[in-house]
Amino acid sequence: MIYALVALTSDSVAQHSVSADSPGLQGSSWLAAQWETARALAAQAGSCILVLDEVQKLPGWTEEVKRLWDEDTAAGRDVRAVVLGSALLLVARGLTESMAGRFETTRLGHWRYTEMREAFDFTLEQYIFFGGYPGAAPLVHDEMRWAAYIRDALIETPISKDVLLTAPVQKPALLRRLFDLACRYSGQVLSCQKLMGQLADAGNTTTLAHYLELLEGAGMVCGLQKYSGKALRQRASSPKLQVYNTALMGALAVAEGWGFAQLRATPDQWGRLVESAVGAELLARRLTHSSTQPALYDWREAGREVDYVLPDGKELFALGVKSGRQHGNVSGLDAFRVGRSKARPMVLGTGGLDLHHWFATP
């Protein structure tokens, strides 16, 4: 997540990049000192880009940034602050409360197939299983080590340091269990009542829905609502669980003895992973073009379903994902278009657009 505070312009630009993730940093004094460095560089070069990473870890950072920013605006200094944060809800909340009218937002999703292919020579099948975490890519030839890295560095760390800092969480173990189930059931519709049946000491549906929102804010998993064309009905529907990165599913599979080769040779399991990879790609593409949570839905009715529904301006796309050897039926697409004749149906995979082509095409 990038938040940019940009004021004046000039021909020459200096830069100063720092991270608040280093140990021993102390609140606003450190932040003010970094800002003074940027001011000195701006005085020499005409302007300076100040990059502040993991800023949400500084206590009172919004008030200090607002003070310094307003001082520069009044004095005509050209310091452009780029605020980076992995805890989306913490950063966004601070900006909304204290920095109204002073920032614009750029959301960055997970690495996509084309990026992993160019950087690490991933095949599409590797990308579907190992996902889009560049830090984990060098470890894919040792699947146990790769899965441990995903678990320790990319699951536990965000949950313990980002999600649990976002809001009071009375049952951290329940939140972790909910995350685990969301990965297991990615690509499936699971109501909060059914989730409660899977969880011990589940509390109530409101708590589970809140915890799912926290996990979504961390860019880990989310719940896609049923498309109906009416916002109230969409919010009331049971969500289709969806991971933002299929590495989360792959790591869970490895921990349970399912390596890449075994899962690839099991059509049902592989099909669910492929569908989740398509959903993750759609979420990443929507993030590229939107500063808000991406609008992506599923649809199901009377035993028929459409895997993903994508409103795009005046267009409405209905996507079915097919990964097996047999051409799947398109009865769900037919049913969805009843009363929506202008909806554009698309099959990705077997019997439709080649998945390699779709993932590689902007």
Question: C-alpha 111: how far from its chain's center?
Answer: 10
Same domain, 144 and 252: yes
Same domain, 74 and 149: no
Domain boundary among 106, 135, 166: 106
Same domain, 81 and 119: no
231-243 pLDDT, tens digit each: 555 555 678 999 9
CATH assignment of the domain containing 55 = 3.40.50
Same domain, 189 and 233: yes
**Domain count across the chain:** 2
Q: Angle 208-202-169 (CA atoms, 0-180°, nearest 5)?
A: 55
The parent domain of residue 232 ranges over 113-360
Domain boundary among 54, 81, 106: 106
Same domain, 244 and 161: yes
- In the predicted structure, residue 204 carries a pLDDT above the cut 70: no
Same domain, 49 and 123: no
Domain boundary among 54, 86, 106: 106
Same domain, 244 and 355: yes
90-116 pLDDT, tens digit each: 566 656 556 777 777 777 778 999 999
Please compute the mean of the pLDDT values over residues 44-62 and round it to a whole number.
86
Same domain, 317 and 188: yes
More confident residue, 157 or 292: 157
Same domain, 290 and 206: yes
For 185-330, where are the alpha helices, taking DSSP H only? Answer: 192-198, 205-217, 231-236, 247-255, 260-264, 267-288
CA Rg, the chain, in Å?
Answer: 22
Same domain, 49 and 187: no
Same domain, 192 and 265: yes
Same domain, 102 and 119: no
d(CA 249, CA 239): 18
- In the predicted structure, residue 289 carries a pLDDT above the cut 80: no
How much of the chain exceeds pLDDT 70, in percent? 80
The answer for residues whose C-beta is within 8 angstroms of residue 335's C-beta and 6 or more apart is 301, 302, 304
